Chain A
Amino acid sequence: MTLVDTAPSTPGSAAPIQTRSERPTSFDPADFGTPSGREVNWKLSDTARLAPLFADEETSGAVEYDLSALEAAGVLVTGDDAARGEIFRPEDLPSAIAWKRSETGLHVRIPAGEVLSEPLIARLRGLGAGLHGNDHIVIEALPDSVATVVLDHSGTAALAQNVEIIVRDRATLTVITVQQWEDDAVHAAAHQAVVGERATLKHIVVSFGGGVVRVNPSVRLAGQGSETALYGLAFSDAGQHLESQVYLFHEGQDTKGDVLYKGALQGQGARTVWIGDVLIGPDATGTDSYEKNQNLVLTDGTRADSIPNLEIETGDIAGAGHASATGRFDDEQLFYLQARGITEETARRLVVAGFLMEIVQRIGIPELEERLAADIEAELARGAGLAPASKAGA
């Protein structure tokens, strides 16, 4: 890739487009107008195809859940115990509707001190194109626990989904959401997380399949010494719109944030959108924060939007920076591989796979890493017949 990084920001030098922290919230869908596509949080979205998620209606039976791994681990809670809304506040219409119409109320709670080495995989399968579903999922890691929860989406549906993530003090939680939907699926997910004292959240969004997929993670590093790593991976083919609006709020002292989202685009109309807002609050002294988005354009006819924003309200931080780069293949990488006898096509596939594997390598679940590596290969095989991005492009 030809990457042109923007210079890292120094405290006080960056101006946000809009103060992300002041975005209105409500549990009542009526408080949100139907998105027109002009709003700050919808202006790069495919509101036409997301329209099924703007209908405030009774829904049921759009998604089938396989929770056997979670049941076996004894981490599901039900009834009065399964409270929701402790930290979650809907910020847009599909999220407010999902709150109101949610049928499942899946609630995962990792017991205090419990260390679960096996990942807990919840499989969600959409049962039909256009079937409207609404979900509110709570994932809660009690103090000193360690666990990994995977939401694995397949099939097709029109799903609005809230994921409320609470990482209590000193807990270490990994949440991975994989979107391997069929081509006609529509999915808008709002993830909201709060991370306690010396707790760590690793959050990974992998979007390969689906017509329109919008997964917006919002993380508040509330506790002193809390940390988060927010990673994303999108592979957008012809006609796909894959989007993530990431919000990271450094609220407590001595917190650390690392945001890295990568996208690959191939085929006519392939689209990715990434908006990364980082806010370092007035009390967040000692913050160390970095966010980066990189996109690799494989063919002509694609569009990648990439907007990093950094807002700093205290001067006393350890470091903060952001970078955004969208480009085509790096000729030097291709030359290096070809100079070792590797054909141009194989070299391209190696470079793209490698570019995306940088995120996959951070997942830490061998079985899932292997599956995603195979998915990347399949995506590349699909694009094998397409002409590479022209040199002037990108």
Chain B
Amino acid sequence: MSTLEIRDLQVSIETDQGTKPILKGVDLTIESGGIHAIMGPNGSGKSTLAYTIAGHPRYNVDGGTITLDGEDVLAMSVDERARAGLFLAMQYPVEIPGVTVANFLRTAKTAIDGEAPAIRGWAKTVNEHMDQLRMDKSFSARNVNEGFSGGEKKRHEILQLELLKPRFAVLDETDSGLDVDALKIVSEGVNRAHETSDLGVLLITHYTRILRYIQPTHVHVFVNGRVAEEGGRELADRLEDEGYDRYLTAQA
């Protein structure tokens, strides 16, 4: 049982117009097995939260803490966080020319586990997971994210989630740009990871659509860099009917 705890997190970025505060005191506690949907309008700071947890250098932490079972996550480098059990499925995975998926996956698995996976068993494991995500075998020989369609990129992110077996996964708008079939396949992957390893999930999304396939245990509404409301599944249903207007009106 692990706990990812975020306390009074304040984050800013540097822009041409100067320092811009994005997160203004975020509190969140996620435990193993929990599925937390983070919902909110564009620009509310959802993705900033995702990238700050992962340690992207663009985001400055001005105050607050992130801890994983009491360990100070903010003191860790990006790769240390991943090795500690945090995973970020990115909204816009980057292309890495000349690095094949097979090479990348093996290198990442070796880094996370601290030892190289057994060659034969590994290839079989990768193939099985690729099958489940309806990814063609030829994927292994392609360069990371190069020429991938939007759906292929997202499947590749979930493939990594299943293979690397983190303790907590942040999914940053994994549903964006997916058609219904791809959304189902990707959601099944997340559900598998959740069931097999008691994964804790932070599911960042603008829309309620993905919540038909991945059942959240908690729903948090993000507005203007803060958690504006929290609840269970029923809160998502209400958002589906009413949208974010009432939060934005209250704010104005």
A: which residues have CB within 8 A of B? 330-333, 335-344, 346-347, 350-351, 353-358, 360-361
Contact = CB atoms under 8 A, between A and B. Distances in A.
Interface string B83-114: 10001101001101111000110011001100
B94 A354 contact: no
B111 A341 contact: yes
A355 B78 contact: no
A340 B98 contact: no
Given A354-B98, A354-B143, A339 B54 contact: yes
12 contacts: A330-B94, A333-B96, A335-B56, A337-B96, A338-B78, A338-B82, A339-B54, A339-B79, A341-B82, A354-B98, A355-B97, A358-B143
Contacts of A343: 79, 111
B215 interface: no
A275 B199 CA distance: 54
Nearest to A361: B98
Given A339-B87, A341-B112, A342-B79, 12 more contacts: A333-B94, A333-B96, A337-B96, A338-B78, A339-B81, A340-B164, A341-B164, A342-B82, A344-B78, A350-B104, A355-B97, A360-B98
A37 to B, nearest CB: 35
Given A332-B94, A354-B96, A340 B108 contact: yes
Contact of A338 (B77, B104, B143): B77
Contacts of B63: none
A247 B103 CA distance: 36
Nearest to B81: A339
Q: Which of B56, B94, B112, B143 has the most CB of A within 10 A?
A: B94
A278 to B, nearest CB: 23
Contacts of A350: 96, 99, 103-104, 107
Contacts of B112: 340-341
Interface in B52-92: 54-57, 77-79, 81-83, 87-88, 90
A342 B111 contact: yes
Pairs A-B, 6 closest by C-beta atoms: A354-B98, A357-B98, A354-B99, A341-B82, A340-B108, A341-B111
Given A331-B57, A336-B90, A336-B93, A342 B99 contact: no
Contacts, number: 84
B160 interface: yes
Contacts of B96: 333, 336-337, 350-351, 354
A338 B99 contact: no
Nearest to A356: B98
B82 A340 contact: yes
Contacts of B160: 340
Contacts of A341: 79, 82-83, 108, 111-112, 164
A353 B111 contact: no
Q: Give the size range of B's interface with the partner.
A: 20 to 34
A341 B82 CA distance: 5
A356 B143 CA distance: 13
Given A339-B54, A354-B97, A346 B111 contact: yes
A331 B55 CA distance: 12
Nearest to B111: A341
A337 B82 CA distance: 10
A353 B56 contact: no
Interface string B193-235: 0000000000000000000000000000000000000000000
A358 B99 CA distance: 9
Contacts of B111: 340-343, 346
Nearest to B79: A338
A361 B146 CA distance: 14
Contacts of A356: 98
A338 B111 CA distance: 10
A356 B90 CA distance: 26
A341 B94 CA distance: 16
A355 B96 CA distance: 8
Contacts of B54: 335, 339
B107 A339 contact: no
A216 to B, nearest CB: 26
A358 B98 CA distance: 5
Contacts of A358: 97-98, 143
Contacts of B107: 342, 346, 350
A340 B79 CA distance: 7
A330 B98 CA distance: 14
Contacts of B82: 338-342
A328 to B, nearest CB: 14
Interface in B107-156: 107-108, 111-112, 143
Contacts of A338: 55, 77-79, 82
Contacts of A361: 98
Contacts of A357: 97-99
Nearest to B107: A342
Contact of B78 (A335, A354, A360): A335
A340 B108 CA distance: 6
A361 B186 CA distance: 31
Residue of A335, A353, A356 contacting most chain B CB atoms (<10 Å): A335
Nearest to A350: B99
A347 B77 CA distance: 13
A180 to B, nearest CB: 20
A335 B57 contact: yes
Contacts of B88: 339
A361 B98 CA distance: 8
